[in-house]
Amino acid sequence: MIELLLLVLSWVIGIGGMCLVDLELAESLDHRIVSAAVVLVVGSLVIHVILRAKAKYADPFILPIAVALNGIGLALIYRVGLTTSAKVIGSQTVWSGLGMVVCAGTVWFLTDHRVLRRITYICLAASVVLLLLPLVPGLGQEINGARIWISLGGRTFQPGEIAKITLAVFFAGYLSANRDLLLLAGRRIGPVRLPRFRDFAPMLVAWLVSIGVLVMQHDLGSAILFFGLFLVMLYLATNSLTWVGIGLVLVAVGGVFAYRTMGHVTVRIDSWVHAFDPEVYNREFGGSSQVVQGLFGLASGGLFGRGLGNGRPDLVPFANSDMIVSLIGEELGLLGLGAVLMLFFLLATRGLRAALGTPDTFGKLLAAGLSAVMVLQLFVVVGGVSRLIPLTGLTTPFMSAGGSSLLANWVIVGLLLAISHSARAPRVVDDAADPASEEQGRPAVTAEELGATAAISHLGRTRTDSRGADPTTSPQPDGDRR
């Protein structure tokens, strides 16, 4: 019942936003508004019904938040299309529907998220293939200096968006199985214990391939995102700040090296540091006009914004994709932008709550890693638009124009829903398998899996009793789905 009420509110936000953009078009029942409304309502209702059938204990807040963000994104993309040539609301609506279908399929077929642990190394291989696909001659396509797309049937797709999910699954599976080896096996040098090469090699391969994106595909944003995911999940598994420190040192060294040797990185840094320099501003390629116009848009929005439909997205390049945060700030103001950011943080915290509640280490790492991916991506996007860090070209989850990003984020929502169901469902701990849990489609939770919580106990600040069971990770009453 709670989820359904929140879904109604999310429909009002998304569809109401599209109507407010242009009331005259709304009154004449513009087919674009009607199509988007049908996709949002029908798609979310289908997921809701499937959740009732397959995962009735799933977190009731995750789906409405995702639908609200998707709806706001559709409203803003529709608004940009009214004053610019970027009329992509039709394709974005189609991708929204496809994303919801994939999310529903994820919840339907993934009755137990732990089965993903069996394909740990398959996910590593899939990640490598996905990241290398844009480099295949005839298949890869270069757009705006970055070679991160592939062309299929006249349509472009960014396989790196799917790779962030397969990498998260690989990291979760490998770290949950080899955490003790990474912590205890190896040579100690001062306060740091270096793991054996054979234990760390798969992680190193994943990291090197991810960083290779920066070198070979000229994609600074994806390189930051993948390396950030690597560090976050390594810290969650080991609870060691030493790894974070080493990672930051590598970032600093790699950043200096890239700035001095890679032209596209040099241009990005110059347009960040010298954004208001006329020469840099007027540069044809890699100039700072995009970020400066975005800053002016944010400033003109003030506290309350200029109102939906009253901004000037035509002055900001890529206002419906890279710079959609600037459009939010201009038309909805600081309060509106803050509300949108709060929705993202609420979605991430619900994912972390699922990580805290699920009894198995793999589920904890996967839910926390997927939540971290969204937060990292949002930080890189907002930081670039506000000139806190260099602009990288990453898309805002659920909101920016782009089918591959939207599809990937709906898959993440499906995974979080499945894990949250496992976290919130009642469990019976017994030495033998629990027949009742088998009948419900959920394998019984063994004492070994409950004891696995101690592997990343800092996530839940838990204490493990002498038998290995962790009573503090039992799901707390949080309002059953009705």
Domain for residue 415, yes or no? yes
Domain count, the chain: 1
Which tokens go with 184? Answer: 């205890």
Domain for residue 436, yes or no? no
Domain for residue 480, yes or no? no
Contacts of 140 (CB under 8 A, 6+ apart): 133, 134, 147, 149, 150, 151
pLDDT given at position 192: 66
pLDDT given at position 451: 38
pLDDT given at position 454: 41
Domain coverage including residue 269: 1-424
pLDDT given at position 460: 44
What DSSP assignment string belongs to 75-116?
Answer: HHHHHHHHHSS---HHHHHHHHHHHHHHHHHHHHH-S-GGGG
Domain for residue 473, yes or no? no
Domain for residue 122, yes or no? yes
Domain for residue 441, yes or no? no
pLDDT given at position 458: 46
Instruction: Give the pLDDT means over successive 10-residue stretches in the chain (482 positions).
Output: 94 94 84 94 96 94 97 94 85 95 95 92 89 84 77 82 92 85 70 69 70 72 84 84 76 80 82 90 84 93 91 88 92 95 96 93 94 93 92 88 92 96 78 39 41 42 39 41 39
Give the tens place of pLDDT for each residue, 149-181: 888 777 888 888 999 999 999 989 988 887 777
Give the tens place of pLDDT for each residue, 240-258: 777 777 778 877 877 788 7
Total-model pTM: 0.85
Contacts of 197 (CB under 8 A, 6+ apart): none
pLDDT given at position 226: 84
Domain for residue 444, yes or no? no
Question: Between the CA of residue 201 and those of 97, 174, 204, what are the distances in Å?
Answer: 40, 11, 5
Domain for residue 440, yes or no? no
| Phi then psi dihedrals of residue 149, to 5 deg | -115, 155
